[in-house]
Amino acid sequence: MRIKPNPAVQKFWDSAREFLDSYLPLVRNVSHNTVDSYRQSLNHFIRFLESEKSIPRQALTFDCFCRQHFKAYMLWMNEAQGLSPKTCNLRMTAIRSFLEFCSGEDITLGSAFTASRTIKNMRAENNGIKYLTKPAMRAILEAPDTKTRIGKRDKALLIFMYDTAARVQEMVDLRVGDLHLNDQHPFVSIKGKGSKTRNVPLMGKTLEHLRLYFLEFHPNKRSGDEPLFYTRKGGQPHKLSTDAISVLLTKYVGKAKQSCPDMPDNVHCHLLRKTRAMDLYQEGIPLVYIAQLLGHANVSTTSGFYAFATVETLHKSMSKANPEAVYDAPRWKSANVMEQLYRL
């Protein structure tokens, strides 16, 4: 005997599928990583309803999205799951976004959205922005052994990631054709969140490392879809994964600790991005320029506006704030490589 589905249950799951598979990627044009984040947040709340409220997925309706459950969910995340206030707030924000979408599609669901808005965010302790000191950043950039092929690649990758303040996923997605090295002010086009592209200037010594890197890793290419930083599998180049980049960073942080005892224990890829932004800020670069470099749509400052900075303007500003390891000429200049370089 075929069981007739509950219309209220079907409505919830249809709405969730439309939100995640259609509205976010196609209408909002957000990245697949952002969609995954929303998906995880909704699944986390559903698991809470299953385990703490004994509501199975087969019986889930919009009536479950009520103030009483939201309050219990916030406490459960923070106290039972040990999640930070910031993480709790982010997961609740995802639920609000979902319910806002649903209320726009069906006015009768407005009560669920209103209930979610009555839940205030947890107060998160502001510990300030964490970033690396200049000696620590320099030690990491100097850690790769450039006598080896992998060391040459890794040094170029680390310098490039710091110089451009690129997210680790953006580093993975970079292609040779994204580089514009022959422009008057060389730059890289980075596709960030929401498939938005930003142009980031490349500093002089970073260009030196890149050109030497190209001679060995992309000897016959200056454009194309080949991954910029890659590893070889079966004789073919394959882009590095985000995990692979995180692992190589951890490796060089461990090595850098030998010469820099004050190196933090938890150094991750995003910390390099924050460090670049802080280095620029400390050099007096306007926050609106830094926002463009990072790919942020706006800046939460008293000025409350977003200013566009050209590649040329950013180039002049950013050239003031590179660590010595980036200013140093590459040390892996063999005679035959230098000869090829001079012919370019």
The predicted-structure confidence for 158-181, as pLDDT tens digits, reads as follows: 999 999 999 999 999 999 999 998
196 lies in some domain: yes
- Which residue is it, tokens 């929401």? 194
β-strands 230-233, 197-201: how paired?
unpaired
Which of the listed residues 60, 87, 117 is the one where a domain comes to its end?
117
Give yes or no: residues 190 and 311 share one domain.
yes
**Residue 21 sits in the same domain as residue 159:** no
User: Across residues 269-274, what is the average pLDDT?
Assistant: 92
Report, as an integer, the average pLDDT of 184-213: 89
For residue 279, tell me if it sits in a domain: yes
* pLDDT for res 305: 31
**235 and 333 assigned to the same domain:** yes
List, for residues 18-53, the tens digit of each pLDDT value: 999 999 999 988 878 789 999 999 999 999 999 999
Q: Do 96 and 225 fall into the same domain?
A: no
Cβ-proximal residues to 54 (8 Å cutoff; 6+ apart), any chain: none
Contact 189, 201 (CB under 8 A): no
Q: Is the separation of the CB atoms in 85 and 122 below 8 Å? A: yes
329 and 201 within one domain: yes
Q: What is the pLDDT of residues 117-144, one digit of tens each?
A: 999 999 877 655 688 999 999 999 999 9
Residue 290, pLDDT above cutoff 80? yes
Q: Which domain holds residue 331?
A: 134-342
Domain end, chosen from 90, 117, 144, is at 117
What per-residue confidence (pLDDT) applies to 307? 40
**Is the model's pLDDT at 79 over the cut of 70?**
yes
Provide the pLDDT for residue 335: 59
Look at residue 55 and tell me if it is in a domain: yes
Residue 233, pLDDT score: 86
Cα distance between residue 142 and residue 160, in whole Å? 13
Sign of the C-alpha dihedral computed for residues 127, 131, 134 and 135 taken in this order: positive
Would you give the DSSP letter of residue 80?
A: I
Report whether pLDDT(334) > 90. Answer: no
Q: How much is the average pLDDT of 222-235?
A: 86
At residue 342, does pLDDT exceed 80? no
Percent of the chain scoring above 90 in pLDDT: 62
Whether residue 222 lies inside any domain: the answer is yes
β-bridge mates for residue 290, sequence order: none
pLDDT the model gives residue 110:
94
- Same-domain pairing of 212 and 337: yes
**Smallest Cα–Cα separation from 40: which of 24, 58, 63, 64?**
24
Query: Is 55 in the same domain as 141?
Result: no
Looking at the fold, whether 199 and 113 belong to one and the same domain comes out as no
pLDDT at 285: 84
* Same domain assignment for residues 87 and 158: no
Q: Running DSSP on this structure, what letter comes out for residue 264?
A: -
User: Is the same domain home to 225 and 251?
Assistant: yes
Domain count of the fold of the chain: 2
Instruction: Take residue 231 and report the two structure tokens written for it.
Output: 């590893």
Residue 340 clears pLDDT 50, i.e. is over it: no
Torsions phi, psi of 61, nearest 5?
-135, 175
Is 110 inside a domain boundary? yes
Please give the average per-residue pLDDT across 188-206, as a whole number: 88
Is pLDDT above 60 for 77?
Answer: yes
Task: Report yes or no on 124 lying in a domain.
Answer: no
Could you give the residue ranges of the DSSP H alpha helices within 143-228? Answer: 149-164, 168-173, 204-217
Highest mean pLDDT among 98-112, 210-224, 279-293: 98-112
Residue 82 lies in a domain: yes
Residues recorded for the chain: 344
Looking at the structure, do residues 245 and 303 belong to the same domain, yes or no? yes
44 and 189 assigned to the same domain: no
CATH number of 188's domain: 1.10.443.10
pLDDT band at 224 (very low <50, low <70, confident <90, very high): confident
In a domain, 123, yes or no: no
